[in-house]
Amino acid sequence: MSDTFRLCHVDELPEGCSRGFDPLQQGQDSVLLVRWQGRFHAYLDACPHHGGTPMAWRKDAYLNAVGDRIVCHAHGAQFDIATGQCTLGPCLGQALTRLPIEQSPQGELCVPCHPLISKNGDNP
């Protein structure tokens, strides 16, 4: 198994957009990716308010209406896109789990496998 999961190519996610990924092929997205102010930010799709609740209200819908915060649609927690810190809602002081992004010279975006595998309780 590779040490990283490929998410997408940089050209596949426009500025100001978010997208979910299911790298473990479990039928539910476990990673979210946002392109914001020219940078990519990846987090586990797991709200810290209630033990890893998936946050999108529909496929790829992770942002608020103006696109400047990640939102958990279960209870409305808002998170800073750049840091993952909760800025509003029931989990103030907590943060999303950031995933480091590796970008290949060809523009492929990848995240490491181990945070995803450990989240599911499996040994790599």
Write down the least CB distance from residue 40 to ligand FES, Å.
23
Residue 89 near residue 72 (C-beta atoms within 8 A): yes
| 88-92 LR contacts (CB < 8 Å, sep 24+) | 89/49, 90/49, 91/47, 91/48, 91/49
Report if residue 53 touches ligand FES, rule: CB under 6 A: yes
Per CB under 6 A, the list member of 33, 42, 70, 72 interacting with ligand FES is 72
By CB under 6 A, the count of residues binding ligand FES is 10
Other C-beta atoms closer than 10 Å to the C-beta of 111 total 23
Q: Which is nearer to ligand FES, 42 or 47 (CB)?
A: 47
Query: What's phi and psi for 80, nearest 5 deg?
Result: -65, 130
Stretch that binds ligand FES, among 11-19, 36-44, 45-53, 61-69 (CB under 6 A): 45-53
Least Å distance, CB 62 to ligand FES, is: 12
Residue 74 as a binder of ligand FES (CB under 6 A): the answer is: yes
Query: What minimum distance in Å lies between the beta carbon of 19 and ligand FES?
Result: 19
Return the half-sphere exposure (C-beta side, CA atoms, 13 A cut-off) of residue 123.
0
